[in-house]
Amino acid sequence: MKAVKKVLPAQRPHWVGNGFHVFPVFAHYAFSNELSPWLMFDYAAPKHFEPTAKRLGVGQHPHRGFETVTIAWQGEVEHSDSVGNNDVIGAGDVQWMTAGRGATFASRAQLWINLPQAQKMHAPRYQPLLASRIPTVPLSAAGEPVELALPEGHNAIVFVRRGGVRVGAEGQEEEVGPQAVALMQREGRTLRLAATEAGSQLLLLGGAPLDEPIAARGPFVMNTDAEIAQANADFRSGKMGR
């Protein structure tokens, strides 16, 4: 049974782009091997936007060395990039973009996933994942626990979008509230969850840790400072995104 290593409380929001109030879910753990392969998670809570002719979001910017995952909880999210991908996803859908050796694109608040050193310079790739292809598990409104099987040694992260859950073995549970996150120990093959109120909704993230050096500067995530310098040089010279 996986035990809770740390519960991170809901964070203060900050502005991204020209109109998105996002919560830095991973706080100071972002870009550390504590979360590997996950790097960063900015959550945009529901917000009403008045009609406007001005496009809101994040303008063209470069990425290299990692993947981005954008989840449309509600409404629609548009994606465009320098390798010719243009797409719109709806509620429950996911955009998965592998920046690889480099691409420039416009996006929304999202998760970043590290790439292993051997794949950081692969060609960029975009794939939409529709809600119908993404597994979901109902949580009992009565608080009955749910147990999920996970691979031994993988990192697991539980983010509560709304409501609350108890996480961990019976008698050792930790409560996690809205927009907070539970970081789980790598040991164990089972994750035990129970909703603390009706309508609770959470996101479970998991993956095999890379345990490689992380060099992160702005929109680039590589293994060394020299690789970061090369990424900056490639972007300034116009080589990135081709």
Q: What are the tens digits of pLDDT across the range 50-72?
A: 776 766 666 667 889 999 898 88
> What are 195-220's pLDDT values in tens digits?
999 999 999 999 999 999 999 998 89
Among residues 78, 70, 81, 121, which one has the least CA distance to residue 104?
81
Query: In which element (H, E) is residue 93 found?
Result: none
User: For 97-125, how does the pLDDT look when each residue is reduced to its tens digit (9 = 90+)?
Assistant: 787 664 443 344 589 999 999 999 998 88
The Cα–Cα gap between 43 and 56 comes to 16
Closest CA to 230 of 126, 96, 120: 120
DSSP designation for 142: T
Q: How far apart, in whole angstroms, are the C-alpha atoms of residue 15 and residue 65?
A: 24
The larger pLDDT score, comparing residue 143 to residue 214, is at 214
Output the pLDDT for position 11. Answer: 94
Question: Would you say residue 177 has pLDDT above 90?
Answer: yes
Task: Return the SS3 of 214.
Answer: coil
pLDDT at 88 over 80: no
Q: Say how far apart CA 30 and CA 28 lie, in whole Å.
A: 5
pLDDT at 19: 64
- The token pair at 211 is 């345990």
Q: Mean pLDDT over residues 185-194, rounded?
A: 96
Higher-confidence residue: 80 or 217? 217
Query: What pLDDT, in 10s, does the model give residues 4-30?
Result: 999 999 999 887 766 677 889 999 999
Residue among 36, 54, 65 nearest 157 (CA): 36
User: Structural domains in the chain?
Assistant: 11-49+56-135+218-236 (2.60.120.10)
Residue 82, pLDDT > 70, answer no
Query: Distance (Å, rounded) from C-alpha 108 to C-alpha 101?
Result: 21
Helix (H) or strand (E) holding 236: helix 225-236
Judge if the upstream peptide bond of residue 51 is cis by omega within 30 degrees of 0: no
pLDDT confidence of residue 107? 40
Written as six digits, the tokens of 64 are 């290299």
**Can you list the pairs that 225-229 forms with residues at least 24 positions away whose Cβ atoms lie under 8 Å?**
227/65, 227/120
Q: Which comes out higher in pLDDT, residue 143 or 7? A: 7
Residue 101 contacts residue 230 (beta carbons within 8 Å):
no
> Quick one: pLDDT band at residue 242, thresholds 50, 70, 90?
low
